[in-house]
Amino acid sequence: MSREIITVEEMRAIDAGSAAAGVPTRTLMENAGRAVADAIVARFKPRPTAVLCGPGNNGGDGWVAARYLLERGWPVWVETLVPRDTLKGDAKDAAAAFTGETYALSRDNPRAELVVDALFGAGLSRPLEGEAARAANAFWKRADRVVAIDVPSGIDGDTGMALNEISFGAALTVTFVSKKPAHVLMPGRALCGEIVVADIGAPEDVVAAQKVSLFENDPSLWSLPWPEPDAHKNERGHVIVASGGRARTGAARLSARAALRGGAGLVTVLSPPDALDENAAQLTAIMVREARDEAAYAQAARIARALVIGPAFGTSDDHYKLLLAAIGAEPRAPLVLDADALTLLSPITHGFTSRDVLTPHVGEFRRAFPGIWSSSSNRIDATRAAAAYARCVVLLKGPDTVIAAPDGRAIVNTTGSPFLATAGSGDVLAGLIAALISQGMESFEAAAVAVWLHGKAGERLGPGLIAEDVTEILPAILNDLAPMDLKAALNG
């Protein structure tokens, strides 16, 4: 289940299902604790190590990990949040098997150079308080010395948020079976450090019974639309991008160029008459077509294989009419609606189709779907609800972009870098989505691929990145993804 993401509730069901299928929870705990010890030994040299154990099964995993470290000769001790004799069930059993030194968790204990945070797991129900909160604050600036079991304590596994803004941060987090939302959503993802997903022996059929529809974005989830050797440009689709008026044209050209780099066979910028010269003067492989009225936008929607409307498009009543003309065209191409198009339509009352894609950032999302935003517990739920409501693909942009389809599938993207938060970055993304749709990809997958590529470009470029660079580095990233036989053909 490497790319599946399971909720806390699904994890509990796997726990119960495993027990019912004959794998006791104590066995799962044993495997979990051993996996933590293995991950530590593989990454650190022996050093004074404190395992901070909480009252529940997260603490139980900690006692097991401490036992395995001790067996390997580590200088390790346990600091326990609650007296050992108050523990219950598997945790009590795991604690009883540990023969090393044990202290009450407080600031007076021996100095640790490594801390294993086994206070609370992903299902934490209340904010950290007392000694647990003090320990979190004490180690907040020393995350490089912390290894978290399941999640850094204080983080809610389903939202990735600290319940009262107090939590641990870690250099390494070892979780079990699959990642939880907190491992991919911010700020949780950043607080986890390196994430190891350990197999703890839950039976495969028990895990499969969860029918997971949430995934972490990865090339194993999709395949790119590589052209056939004898491909003609018309088969690679025609993307049309609507431009804004005079002195508002750069965004559409960024989008159009990304569409061309993304593999669209033909790309046209649809330009208002007053911006025609401005667009034409700056385009070469990309075509320009004049559009005077609603009929021209409806026509564009009919002839394109994907139509981008939004980047610096304009937000006047006239622009609203042009947008509606494109939306209402029949039959029409899938639409990628961003920026000004979202502003014009907010709050969203239109029904779209599963071929259309809306690409809001959080501010746009809140205006487009105000009720959904305020009633959702995390970005995944919000994006899923918006996709179901608008009946189209919704892509909520951010450092943890979520893509959801109206049928409930959702993908969280984890590629990227903060340098992508720059002017024009979203325009490039919209063009890239349209390019992939125009080549025949399902819109949900096209959106996932585009975000992944965009994020990879951000990682490679780093500081100094401007939106144009994202487009220009796409060939290198696409080449790395090309199948071996295509690479062989290209290299003769």
Q: Which residues of 136-170 are buried (b: 16+ CB within 10 A; e: fewer)?
A: beebeeebebbbbbbbbbbbbbbbbbbbeebbbbb
Map tokens 């969203």 to a residue: 348
Does 399 count as an annotated binding residue?
yes
Does 60 count as an annotated binding residue?
yes
What mask, x for binding ligand NPW by CB under 6 A, covers residues 19 to 58? ---------xx--x---------------------xxxxx
Q: Is 117 one of the binding residues for K ion (CB under 5 A)?
A: yes
Closer residue to ligand NPW, CB minimum distance, 29 or 135:
29
424 binds, among K ion, ligand NPW, none (CB under 5 to 8 A by kind): none
Task: Give the interface segment with K ion, choosing from 116-124, 180-188, 278-286, 333-341 (CB under 5 A).
Answer: 116-124
Q: Positive or negative, the Cα torsion across 305, 311, 313, 317?
A: positive
32 binds, among ligand NPW, K ion, none (CB under 5 to 8 A by kind): ligand NPW
Q: What is the CA radius of gyration of the chain?
A: 26
Task: Give the interface segment with K ion, choosing from 113-121, 311-319, 395-403, 411-419 (CB under 5 A).
Answer: 113-121
Bridge partner residues of 195 (DSSP): 173
Q: Least CB distance from residue 148 to ligand NPW, whole Å?
A: 10
Report the alpha-carbon distance of residue 231 to residue 397 in Å, rounded.
33
Report the alpha-carbon distance of residue 193 to residue 169 in Å, rounded.
8
Map tokens 């025949």 to a residue: 440
- Reference 168, options 193, 194, 123, 137; nearest CA is 137
Q: Is 79 one of the binding residues for K ion (CB under 5 A)?
A: no
Closer residue to K ion, CB minimum distance, 11 or 437:
11
Q: Is 71 one of the binding residues for ligand NPW (CB under 6 A)?
A: no
Applying CB under 6 A, among 162, 200, 269, 465 the residue interacting with ligand NPW is 200
Q: In what order do the strands lie in the sheet with 102-104?
A: 102-104, 76-80, 49-53, 114-118, 146-149, 172-176, 194-198
Task: Give the interface segment with K ion, choosing from 31-39, 63-71, 147-155, 186-194 (CB under 5 A).
Answer: 147-155
Bridge partner residues of 198 (DSSP): 176
Helix-strand-coil split of the chain, %, nearest 5: 45, 15, 40
Bridge partner residues of 197 (DSSP): 175
Does 234 count as an annotated binding residue?
no
**SS3 of residue 156 by DSSP:** coil
Closer residue to K ion, CB minimum distance, 136 or 326:
136
**SS3 of residue 227 by DSSP:** coil
CB 104 within 8 A of CB 80: yes
Q: Is 122 one of the binding residues for ligand NPW (CB under 6 A)?
A: yes
Does 232 count as an annotated binding residue?
no
359 binds, among K ion, ligand NPW, none (CB under 5 to 8 A by kind): none
Q: Positive or negative, the Cα torsion across 319, 322, 328, 332?
A: negative
Applying CB under 6 A, among 9, 71, 129, 293 the residue interacting with ligand NPW is 129
Q: Is 149 one of the binding residues for K ion (CB under 5 A)?
A: yes
284 binds, among K ion, ligand NPW, none (CB under 5 to 8 A by kind): none
Size of the site for ligand NPW (CB under 6 A): 30
Distances (CA, A) of 232 to 262, 300, 430: 16, 21, 24
Q: Is 250 one of the binding residues for ligand NPW (CB under 6 A)?
A: no
**SS3 of residue 315 by DSSP:** coil
Using CB under 5 A, which residues numbered 152 to 191 contact K ion?
A: 153
310 binds, among K ion, ligand NPW, none (CB under 5 to 8 A by kind): none
CA angle 429, 435, 441 (to 5 degrees): 110
Applying CB under 6 A, among 1, 14, 51, 307 the residue interacting with ligand NPW is 14
Report the alpha-carbon distance of residue 374 to residue 396 in Å, rounded.
15
Q: Least CB distance from residue 107 to ligand NPW, whole Å?
A: 18
Joined tokens for residue 43: 């990454």
176 binds, among K ion, ligand NPW, none (CB under 5 to 8 A by kind): ligand NPW
Does 157 count as an annotated binding residue?
no
Closer residue to ligand NPW, CB minimum distance, 11 or 450:
11
Q: Is 181 one of the binding residues for ligand NPW (CB under 6 A)?
A: no
Report the alpha-carbon distance of residue 67 to residue 95 in Å, rounded.
9
Q: Which residues bind ligand NPW (CB under 6 A)?
A: 11-12, 14-15, 28-29, 32, 54-61, 120-129, 132, 149-150, 176, 200
Annotated binding site for K(+): 58, 117, 153
